[in-house]
């Protein structure tokens, strides 16, 4: 704690000195420097380059270290507006409010905070606002814990928002920047959530290569959007963007239905941008394998190690990493797994949402035996030994 000091009169916000470039240039072209940093620091580096206008914070473990870093970035002038709001309903409402004004807004939360803000968050896609939400996954079910468990992701799968699941610190940096641009394409105009498993990534150090901070993304153009900003810059009309279509008649039913259809169509349209910026929406290792692991987030790291150790023992195991949970890369997954014989789906949650997703897209298109696990939850990690054990069991059960 120290006392506030006013900025000198000749203070220049550091963000003003950065050069604006596209996400394509930022992520795919600029030379990079390798750092060894935590996931929270990777988020800070992404936010620093994301040309954020407004960041609104509220503390919750394990997210706090990210949004307090955003506060320092505001102090340095990389972010134009920043405050600590009352709680997550307030945070999510205000973040949407800022986005409605036509500026780039960002916030971050974790498990219970996400649930608290859920009513607001689930209204974002339909409101066609474009904030980016960083989500550091943690336990939400009772008994409560602060440890990583990504069951919260399952609650958002059907909202219509873009959902990315970062495997590690590097992904967290790249996905955040990609999300900041893709959300604002006119044919998308949707919010995005970038999830990462708390602690395992946020508080752990790993290698992250990043471009120079002399650059930042192009600013949001508030005039370019699928629906006008709430800025009263359009001729008046007796229509509100959030028409309260609460009359029970067929016009209101159609209005809601067509609006939602368009939200989910826009979500699909975002896929092509991620395909480019993330170099594919899935990653495949050992495509010729008969045994496959498919997963997202931290589970991918454990699976990679399992694939390596199996390889050292002469067993070829394939791996599919899913980067975009929404839009779900259905076609790529079907193509990658159509010749698999056994599929393992390791997850860091009890519900097995990835298992359900994968089963639903593979149904009738693949003859593999799909194993319902392995799964850990409540915060524990999944040792590589566990993945290898499950692989051995699958081979025995389905010879």
In contact, 77 and 12? CB cutoff 8 Å = yes
What are the structure tokens assigned to 335, written together? 């193509």
Task: Name the residue nearer to another protein (CB basis): 116 or 273.
Answer: 116
- Beta-strand pair 317-322/33-38: unpaired
Q: Does residue 382 touch another protein according to CB under 8 A?
A: yes
Task: Name the residue nearer to another protein (CB basis): 275 or 305.
Answer: 305
Longest dimension (CA), the chain: 74
For the CB of residue 11, give the shortest distance to another protein in the complex, in Å. 17
Task: Name the residue nearer to another protein (CB basis): 91 or 370.
Answer: 91
Segment 277-296, which members bind another protein (CB under 8 A)? none
Task: Name the residue nearer to another protein (CB basis): 45 or 174.
Answer: 45
Q: Does residue 151 touch another protein according to CB under 8 A?
A: no
Task: Provide the mask over 23-52, with x wherever binding to another protein is found by CB under 8 A and - wherever it is not.
Answer: -------------xxx-xx-----------
Q: Does residue 301 touch another protein according to CB under 8 A?
A: yes
How many residues in total does the chain contain?
399
CA distance 197 to 168: 8
Segment 50-109, which members bind another protein (CB under 8 A)? 53-54, 56, 61-62, 65, 69, 80-81, 83, 85-87, 89-91, 93-103, 105
In contact, 110 and 84? CB cutoff 8 Å = no
Segment 165-204, which members bind another protein (CB under 8 A)? 168, 199-201, 203-204
CA angle (339 as vertex; 334, 342 as ends), nearest 5: 95
* Region near another protein per CB under 8 A, out of 10-18, 240-248, 328-336, 352-360: 240-248
Cα-Cα end-to-end distance for the chain: 63
107: which strand partners?
133
Q: Does residue 251 touch another protein according to CB under 8 A?
A: no
Residue whose C-alpha is closest to residue 209's, from 180, 169, 177, 181: 169
Please report the beta strands in 110-157, taking only residues with DSSP state E, as ranges in sequence order.
Answer: 132-137
For the CB of residue 309, give the shortest distance to another protein in the complex, in Å. 9
Coil, helix or strand at residue 84: strand
Which residue among 13, 71, 141, 146 contacts another protein (CB under 8 A)? 146
Q: Does residue 236 touch another protein according to CB under 8 A?
A: yes
Q: Does residue 9 touch another protein according to CB under 8 A?
A: no
């Amino acid at each position: 704690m120290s006392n506030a000091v006013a900025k000198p009169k000749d203070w220049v916000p550091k963000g003003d000195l950065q050069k604006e470039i596209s996400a394509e240039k930022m992520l795919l072209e600029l030379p990079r420097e390798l750092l060894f940093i935590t996931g929270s620091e990777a988020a800070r580096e992404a936010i620093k380059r994301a040309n954020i206008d407004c960041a609104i914070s509220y503390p919750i473990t394990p997210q706090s270290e990210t949004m307090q870093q955003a506060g320092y970035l505001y102090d340095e002038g990389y972010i134009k507006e920043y405050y600590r709001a009352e709680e997550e309903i307030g945070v999510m409402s205000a973040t949407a409010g800022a986005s409605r004004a036509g500026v780039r807004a960002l916030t971050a939360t974790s498990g219970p905070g996400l649930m608290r803000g859920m009513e607001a968050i689930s209204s974002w896609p339909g409101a066609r606002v474009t904030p980016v939400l960083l989500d550091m996954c943690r336990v939400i079910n009772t008994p409560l814990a602060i440890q990583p468990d990504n069951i919260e992701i399952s609650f958002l799968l059907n909202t219509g928002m873009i959902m990315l699941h970062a495997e590690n610190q590097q992904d967290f940096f790249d996905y955040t920047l990609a999300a900041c641009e893709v959300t604002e394409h006119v044919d998308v105009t949707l919010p995005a959530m970038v999830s990462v498993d708390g602690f395992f990534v946020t508080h752990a150090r790993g290698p992250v290569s990043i471009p120079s901070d002399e650059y930042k993304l192009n600013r949001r153009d508030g005039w370019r959007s699928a629906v006008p900003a709430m800025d009263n810059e359009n001729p008046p009309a007796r229509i509100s963007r959030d028409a309260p279509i609460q009359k029970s008649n067929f016009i209101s039913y159609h209005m809601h239905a067509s609006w939602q259809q368009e939200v989910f169509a826009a979500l699909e349209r975002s896929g092509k941008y991620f395909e480019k910026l993330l170099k594919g929406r899935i990653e495949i290792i050992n495509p010729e394998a008969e045994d496959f692991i498919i997963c997202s987030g931290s589970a991918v790291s454990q699976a990679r190690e399992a694939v390596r150790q199996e390889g050292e023992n002469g067993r070829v195991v394939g791996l599919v990493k899913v980067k975009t949970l929404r839009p779900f890369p259905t076609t790529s997954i079907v193509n990658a797994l159509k010749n698999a014989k056994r599929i393992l789906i390791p997850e860091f949650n009890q519900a097995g949402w990835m298992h359900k997703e994968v089963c639903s897209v593979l149904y009738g298109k693949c003859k593999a035996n799909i194993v319902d696990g392995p799964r850990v939850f409540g915060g524990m990690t999944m040792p590589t030994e566990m993945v290898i054990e499950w692989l051995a069991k699958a081979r025995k059960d389905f010879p």
